[in-house]
Chain A
Amino acid sequence: GQNIDQPTEMTATEGAIVQINCTYQTSGFNGLFWYQQHAGEAPTFLSYNVLDGLEEKGRFSSFLSRSKGYSYLLLKELQMKDSASYLCAVLDSNYQLIWGAGTKLIIKP
């Protein structure tokens, strides 16, 4: 079966750095997405990785290791508005998105 694992919840302090991990086992791999979702709102696209390595975009970076079936999202200089759920999703061999359950990130002052 296909499976994506993320921690259910994480807590971090404003101004700090947090790393949200995602491990996956899927039928094929055509890329990995990270989305941000504020409570009651639609998910919004953050990043896409298809090759191994780190992709940096402002305060957010995403890393991928295909051999390990592993990715992480790194958030720097945390702000209160970063409190949200972060969803990891993998595009499988049929180009269907397989979603993780999401990680709820709580930012404390």
Chain B
Amino acid sequence: EAQVTQNPRYLITVTGKKLTVTCSQNMNHEYMSWYRQDPGLGLRQIYYSMNVEVTDKGDVPEGYKVSRKEKRNFPLILESPSPNQTSLYFCASSDLERSSYNEQFFGPGTRLTVL
């Protein structure tokens, strides 16, 4: 089954304790992206990657890191989480080509609470 998986689905942590949220897709998509979603603000892009070893900042990259060592995986790293990073996080992937559209496929989401 074609899908995007994220782990963990729920996480409660404390300020300053490094954490990683994993994202994996099995559709051989080149494009992957991380979003956070907060009430009233919609989806905001954190980082995206057009291909292996190519990553770029989105709208709200501060406090986050990513890596793209393999095509299927795109982990999100919070080196020193703070309470303002409490949010619902989504990973997404697409076979985005500049000559055509492709829908983004979303993972199930990770609800993160930083105390």
Residues of A within 8 A of B (CB): 8, 30-31, 33, 40-45, 48, 50, 87, 89, 91, 95-97, 99-102
A8 vs B40: C-alpha distance in the bound complex, in angstroms?
8
A8 vs B39: C-alpha distance in the bound complex, in angstroms?
11
Q: Given A96-B58, A99-B44, 14 other A-B contacts at CB below 8 A?
A: A30-B101, A31-B101, A33-B103, A42-B106, A42-B109, A43-B106, A48-B103, A50-B101, A87-B42, A87-B43, A89-B43, A95-B96, A99-B42, A101-B40
Point out the residues of chain B lying under 8 angstroms from A95, CB to CB: 96, 98
Point out the residues of chain B lying under 8 angstroms from A100, CB to CB: 42
Residues of B within 8 A of A (CB): 40-45, 48, 58, 88, 90, 96, 98, 101, 103-109
**Chain B minimum-CB-distance residue to A44:** B106
A41 and B108: CB pair below 8 A? yes
A102 and B42: CB pair below 8 A? yes
A42 and B108: CB pair below 8 A? yes
Smallest Cβ distance from B35 to chain A, in angstroms? Answer: 8
Smallest Cβ distance from A70 to chain B, in angstroms? Answer: 18
Point out the residues of chain B lying under 8 angstroms from A8, CB to CB: 40
Some 28 contacts from A to B, beta carbons below 8 A apart, are A30-B101, A31-B101, A33-B103, A40-B88, A40-B109, A42-B90, A42-B106, A42-B107, A43-B43, A43-B104, A44-B106, A45-B103, A45-B105, A48-B101, A48-B103, A87-B42, A87-B43, A89-B43, A91-B101, A95-B96, A95-B98, A96-B58, A97-B45, A99-B43, A99-B44, A100-B42, A101-B40, A102-B42
